[in-house]
Amino acid sequence: MRTLTRSFAQGLLVLAPVAITIWVVVFTVTTLDDWLDTGIPGLGIVIAAIGITIIGYLTGNVVGNKLLEWLEAGMQRVPLIRILYNALRDLFGAFVGGKRKFDKPVAVEMNQHGLKVLGFLTAEHFDDPQLEGHVSVYLPESYNFAGNLVVVPKERVRPLDADGAEFMAFIVSGGVTAMNATKTAIDPARS
């Protein structure tokens, strides 16, 4: 019975990520195909990718940038939409584009015993005199897209040599995803 249970658990560990990934891809493709009503399976995602690329290209020039400013100004006028739009814009902007915020991976020393938490430096100074010498660090949660913002003394924060996206994947996966810079975080000889 124990062997059967262990084999079932191992099979589940192998199949669950594969099945969920396939389901997300199929759901995305079929949803886009249904929305665009192309009649050709998979064409919806191709059209969406091309459209997103064209919009990205157009917002890089003066005319597209003015249109984007006009659209944003309209969204800022409606209170509920403004809150949602600003939160989503800042979230996406933190990961991609020229204004990335999660590009400074750090380890925060929590105590004298060497306990560290991993996160991203988000503010290097505060105007409030009570927070002088402190920085803010965003601590993503594992297996979750939430996190906590902590304000800590600057001397307790150590920068890490890591790619932001790879570092985020490492934290969100609970440390099971491989990351080239993990030695920086745990090997005192390299820090």
pLDDT digits (tens, 9 = 90+) for 152-184: 999 999 998 888 778 888 888 887 777 765 445
Is 151 in contact with 131 (CB distance < 8 Å)? yes
pTM (two decimals): 0.54
pLDDT digits (tens, 9 = 90+) for 36-86: 887 888 888 888 889 888 888 888 788 888 888 888 888 889 888 888 888
Give the CA distances from residue 113 to residues 109, 110, 116, 118, 174, in Å, rounded to whole numbers and listed in that order. Answer: 9, 8, 9, 16, 21
